[in-house]
Chains A and B, each alone.
Chain A
């Protein structure tokens, strides 16, 4: 586990088992006090956990703690929903260490599914178990393959671990390793190598990846190799020879999180806080949306964080409005009893579904429609005229043709068209913004233009403008 610096005050209890948070009363509303309802208490629990009070978002300290609990860098005490996969990996490592034989394992899964996090826990567990069992502690090497300038540097790193002090690194670390593993040696320690982002090691001749996994096949090899990557079929595609040698790595697949798993993880993180921050429906909405989109836990945490920020922004805005309204009223009238009552009625207690919906919309909405609507008029005409060309079978055209159709639209609506130089400037601006793609050519008029934005988006963006109604059909 990385060392947690002293400034972090939050400590969760590492020994308490993960609890499911109690189900709320189905007719609960944000304003009703939740403590007294006995309806929805979970039958699985032996003792009904007390429902927590709502938080006070105006308290800076509570806000900080809430954001911290949901932050990406805060590693949770226990990794929920990955127990099965962790067990498989742990058993494999334990077997290798106990029987002093080498082996290889390949972990795959989409980004944000908890692979690196689980590996950290497994390493911890392994070291603890080895200590308890009295076996020699294995050396652990974690390498992130993106940091290697040369792919063969990984062998230098492995060698560095096995190095006796004072020995120089020779020019052929791979040879050295292979020699080492071909001879019987008195050292009983195993080496656990965790290679993150394994696909960075793939070169044209796939030699490095192959040699790395072949290290485990040597008779006196002492390394336990665990590779982590995104592709499911990496082992099959890039290591075909291993199958013939019958030492294919075991593949552990970390599937994308389902809605229930995401909900579990979020609640687990929020359990540490002594108050409720989110409305239950808001959490469910988030989990459902993320599970349908990518199953990426990082996205879920980010969106929850930005939902909290929406609430914060609302509070600030109302405080601003209140201040300005008070300032306006105070010279004219004194003792306004209605304003403080107004504040009391608008309680900002928990993050509701509309905050969550807004946060989701902000993340998943592409800025294309907004940008098209705010383009200057002539650039919109250019986009419109490009739609006609991109409807046919051939999806691109040249700048000269586009200019002709642009001029055509301008003429039919009696607008003076811009000259060819200004037109190519406008096309370059559109290319910069990623709305069309402009190729290279010596002649300006012969540059290829291809679309980058869906026709539906353009139609949707320009539908409200009367001018384009004729052109869009």
Chain B
């Protein structure tokens, strides 16, 4: 059991590190936001002067965490000289409730009795008087205003009173505003902005190098007596190898391309640490891949995977109707389309209706509007709730639709298809497939840019005949697959296999 313990201890250590903001954000270098903020606030406390700072940055970049760390440190260093008032823009953006909350918190700190019936005037006078008292007693009042941009709505009376009170020499206050809007100080009225000292701390998401440094910092086990020496060294070596691996870097970049905030990165780290194999006791590349895929779950794909083949066919028909730009899509229209499919299975209408309702319950399709509650299910228009890419992936994954494999092989890439400027070209393709020309040649020629003239030339269709086809022939046939409307890099572009 002794052998197993250190592996469990390692996992626990990693997980506790990720959840501990002190470990992640406490950075003692002079450049970091933590030390800058700490210097600003502590110098205001020691020198007994007033100050105001804004912390700006996108959500999940650690503004609240850093602020909490700084406040904890200051409360330890100067236990009696700090009084803390917290306000939140989501709760207290109204001036009356804000002053009430300030009065209540001041009363709690100084053990006074708070009366709920106090009016707005009373509360504001109380605040001014308390600031004066605290100033005389050399106590700094720190106001923390979360969601600062919400306080800047309306007449901004609270902000004005706070910042104005800081102009007098008798008060000692620090106002710290936290906001995710970068232009939070532009939202202030000009009087309020003039009284605000334009100090802003920007919390930017880490660059790629910084993210990798953070990964190393978190995942490296300490080489001391808490872990057996060999195990720790081996563990760190393996982590080093993984992080320098090209594949890992590519996956990490792709993951961070969407959202590169610290919170996002930590979520991935936690998942990875939890997936660590307790048998071997080391983090491996497979664990990392597994955690990436488990974070980027697609719930709709999982739903699709569980669908029966009839349901998938219904979805396929709906997609084709969409491609044909048929405006009314309800159950009856779908059934009509379904009959045109090659080898339609002989399911009764009731079975199909049940499959249809099942799809509605799964929320893969839904009614287009809430009117027509009185109509029966067959007549109400429906729309798809999944995208083409997802449907395509679901079809591919489902092995019970063999005939569609052939369909998928005839894919053409999107740029080609969209180079056909208008519908008449599309129809022309459709019709030209029915002509006795060689489909292989046709498909291979579709990889190039095509114009109406080219099509006529290539396939030796008479111009009159082509026009007739355009006028009369409707669009698709089973051999034009709907999946040709997306270019997914994993979909091979067409070749002559078909």
| Cα(A426)–Cα(B259), bound, Å | 8
A147 contacts B124, C-beta separation under 8 Å: yes
Q: Given A68-B49, A426-B258, is A197 in contact with B121 using a C-beta cutoff of 8 Å? A: no
Which one of A94-102, A236-244, A414-422 is at the B interface? A414-422
**A111 contact from B171, B184, B191, B205, Cβ within 8 A:** B191
Bound: A146/B381 CA distance, A: 57
Contact with B along A1-22 (1 / 0, CB 8 A): 0111101100000000000000
Are the C-beta atoms of B170 and A434 separated by less than 8 Å?
no
A378 contacts across to B, CB distance below 8 A: 257-258
Cα-based distance from A426 to B257 in the complex (angstroms): 11
Partner of A411, one of B50, B121, B205, B414: B414
Contact: B30 with A313, CB < 8 Å? Answer: yes
State which of B195-203, B215-223, B371-379 sits at the interface with chain A.
B195-203
With both chains docked as a complex, state the minimum distance between the C-beta of A196 and any C-beta of chain B, in angstroms. Answer: 9
A-B pair count, CB < 8 Å, reads 135
Which chain A residue lies CB-closest to B254?
A: A416
Residue pair B489, A75 in contact (C-beta under 8 Å):
no
Cβ of A67 < 8 Å from any Cβ of B?
A: yes
Binds A, one of B154-162, B353-361, B471-479: B154-162
CB of B459, distance to nearest CB on chain A (Å): 28
- Taking a contact as CB atoms closer than 8 A, the residue among A5, A302, A432 that contacts B197 in the complex is A302
A279 CB, min distance to chain B CBs, angstroms: 22
Cα(A416)–Cα(B415), bound, Å:
14
Tell me if B194 and A371 are in contact (CB < 8 A): no
Interface flags, B136-169, vs A, CB<8A=1, else 0: 1010000000000000000101001100101111
- What residues on B are CB-neighbors of A317 within 8 Å? 30
Whether A411 pairs with B487 at a CB distance below 8 angstroms is yes
B170 touches A2 (CB 8 A): yes
A414 to B413 alpha-carbon distance, docked (Å): 12
Q: Tell me whether B198 and A299 are in contact (CB under 8 A).
A: yes
Nearest-neighbor residue (CB-CB) of B183 within chain A: A434
Whether B243 is near chain A, meaning CB under 8 Å from some CB there, is no
Q: Smallest CB–CB gap between B53 and chain A, Å?
A: 11
Q: Does A460 contact B (CB under 8 A)?
A: no
A224 on the B face (CB < 8 A): no
Residues A391-427 near B (CB distance < 8 A): 411, 414, 416, 418-420, 422, 426
Q: When the two chains form their complex, are residues B181 and A320 in contact, meaning their CB atoms are under 8 A apart?
A: no
Q: Does B47 contact A73, Cβ atoms closer than 8 Å?
A: no
By a CB distance below 8 angstroms, the chain A residues around B207 are: 374
Assess whether A73 is in contact with B50, with CB atoms less than 8 Å apart.
Answer: yes
Judging by beta carbons under 8 Å apart, are A434 and B202 in contact? no
Say whether A200 faces chain B, with CB atoms less than 8 Å apart: yes
Is A26's beta carbon under 8 Å from chain B? no
**Contacts of B186-214 to chain A: CB distance below 8 A:** 190-191, 193-195, 197-200, 202, 204-205, 207
* Known contacts A73-B166, A317-B30, A418-B258: A433-B49 contact under CB 8 Å: no
Q: Are A435 and B415 in contact (CB under 8 A)?
A: no
Q: Does B135 contact A (CB under 8 A)?
A: yes
Q: A64-B47, A374-B205 are in contact. Are A230 and B191 (CB under 8 A)?
A: yes
Q: State how many angstroms separate the Cβ of A107 from the closest Cβ of chain B.
A: 14
| Minimum CB distance partner of A426 in chain B | B258
Q: Is the CB of B182 within 8 A of A435?
A: yes
- CB–CB A316/B182 < 8 A: no
Chain B residues with Cβ under 8 A from A320's Cβ?
30
At the interface, yes or no: B284 with Cβ under 8 Å from chain A?
Answer: no
Q: Determine the chain B residues whose CB is within 8 A of the CB of A429 once the complex forms.
A: 58-59, 259
B119 proximal to A (CB < 8 A): yes
Known: A5-B136, A433-B182. A419 touches B160 (CB 8 A): no
Q: A108 vs B49: C-alpha distance in the bound complex, in angstroms? A: 29
Q: Decide: B194 and A67 in contact? CB cutoff 8 A.
A: no
Q: A87 within 8 Å of B by Cβ? A: no
A410–B200 Cα distance when bound, in Å, is 35
CB distance from A231 to the nearest CB of B (A): 11
**A313-B30, A411-B415, A426-B258 known; A72-B181 Cβ under 8 A:** no
A258: shortest Cβ distance to chain B, in Å? 18
Within 8 A of B (CB), among A172-199: 197
Is A72 a contact of B50 with CB atoms below 8 Å?
Answer: yes
Closest B-chain residue to A74, C-beta based? B169
Bound complex: CA A133 to CA B407 (Å): 106
**Nearest CB of A to B185, in Å:** 9
In the complex, A333 has a CB within 8 A of chain B: no
Bound: A426/B261 CA distance, A = 12
Does B256 lie at the interface of the complex (its beta carbon under 8 Å from any beta carbon of A)?
yes
Q: Within 8 Å of chain A (Cβ to Cβ): is B75?
A: no
**B106 at interface by CB-CB < 8 Å:** no
Is B303 located at the chain interface by the 8 A CB criterion?
Answer: no
Give the nearest-CB partner of A429 in chain B: B58
Q: Which of B59, B190, B202, B389 contacts A367 (CB 8 A)?
A: B202
In the bound complex, how far is the Cα of B182 from the Cα of A75, in angstroms? 33
Q: How far is the CA of A110 from the CA of B190 in the complex (A)?
A: 9
Considering the chains assembled together, what is the distance between the CA atoms of A112 and B200 in angstroms?
20
B169:A2 contact, CB within 8 angstroms = yes
A8 to chain B, nearest CB (A): 7
Q: Find the A residue at minimum CB distance from B138.
A: A7
- In the assembled complex, the Cα of A271 lies from the Cα of B161 at a distance in Å of 31
For B389, list chain A residues within 8 Å (CB): 419
Could you tell me if A370 and B194 are in contact, using CB atoms closer than 8 angstroms? Answer: no
Q: Mark interface residues in B393-433 (1 if CB within 8 Å of A CB, else 0).
A: 00000000000000000000011000000000000000000
- Report A-chain residues with C-beta under 8 Å of the C-beta of B198: 299, 302, 363
- The reply to whether the CB of A470 lies closer than 8 angstroms to some CB of chain B is no
Q: Which residue in chain B gives the minimum CB-CB distance to A364?
A: B198
User: When each residue 64-83 of chain A gets 1 if its CB lies under 8 Å from chain B and 0 otherwise, what string results?
Assistant: 10011001111100000000
B258 close to A422 (CB less than 8 A):
yes
Given known A144-B164, A149-B121, contact A432–B58 (CB-CB < 8 A): yes
Docked-complex contact B47 and A433, CB < 8 angstroms: no
- A268 close to B (CB within 8 Å): no
Taking the closest CB of chain B, its distance from the CB of A218, in whole angstroms, is 27
Asked if residues A376 and B194 are in contact (CB atoms below 8 Å), the reply is: no
Query: Is A368 among interface residues, defined by CB-CB distance under 8 A?
Result: yes
A204 within 8 A of B: no
Q: Is B488 part of the contact surface with A, judged by Cβ < 8 Å?
A: yes
The CA-CA distance from A148 to B171 in the complex, in Å, is 21
Closest to A110 in B: B190
Which of these, A74, A149, A370, A377, contacts B119 with CB under 8 Å? A149
Which chain B residues border A298 with CB–CB below 8 Å? 194-195
Which residues B37-65 have CB closer than 8 A to chain A? 39, 47-50, 56, 58-59
The answer to whether B59 touches A416, judged by C-beta atoms less than 8 angstroms apart, is no
CA distance A302 to B197 in the complex (A): 6
Within 8 Å of chain B (Cβ to Cβ): is A452?
A: yes
Contacting residue for B259 out of A146, A376, A419, CB 8 A = A376
Tell me whether A72 and B167 are in contact in the complex, defined as CB-CB below 8 angstroms, given that A317-B30, A411-B487 are known contacts: yes
Decide yes or no whether B260 CB sits under 8 A from chain A.
yes
User: Is B161 within 8 A of A146, CB to CB?
Assistant: yes
B120 at the interface (CB under 8 A from A): yes
Does B310 interact with chain A (Cβ within 8 Å)?
no
| Known contacts A5-B136, A374-B207, A411-B414: A434-B182 contact under CB 8 Å | yes
Q: Give chain B's interface residues, CB within 8 Å of chain A.
A: 30, 39, 47-50, 56, 58-59, 96, 119-121, 124, 135-136, 138, 155, 157, 160-161, 164, 166-171, 180-184, 190-191, 193-195, 197-200, 202, 204-205, 207, 256-260, 387, 389-390, 414-415, 487-489
Q: List 28 A-B contacts (CB under 8 A).
A: A2-B170, A5-B135, A71-B50, A72-B166, A72-B197, A146-B155, A147-B121, A147-B124, A149-B96, A305-B197, A306-B199, A316-B30, A320-B30, A363-B198, A366-B182, A370-B204, A374-B207, A376-B256, A376-B260, A414-B489, A416-B488, A420-B387, A422-B258, A426-B259, A429-B58, A432-B181, A434-B182, A452-B183
Which 4 A-B pairs have CB atoms at the shortest separation, nearest pair first? A111-B194, A376-B260, A377-B257, A434-B181
Known: A3-B170, A371-B58. 17 other contacts (CB 8 A): A7-B138, A64-B47, A72-B167, A72-B197, A73-B167, A73-B171, A111-B193, A111-B194, A144-B164, A147-B121, A153-B121, A298-B195, A374-B207, A376-B256, A376-B257, A411-B415, A433-B58
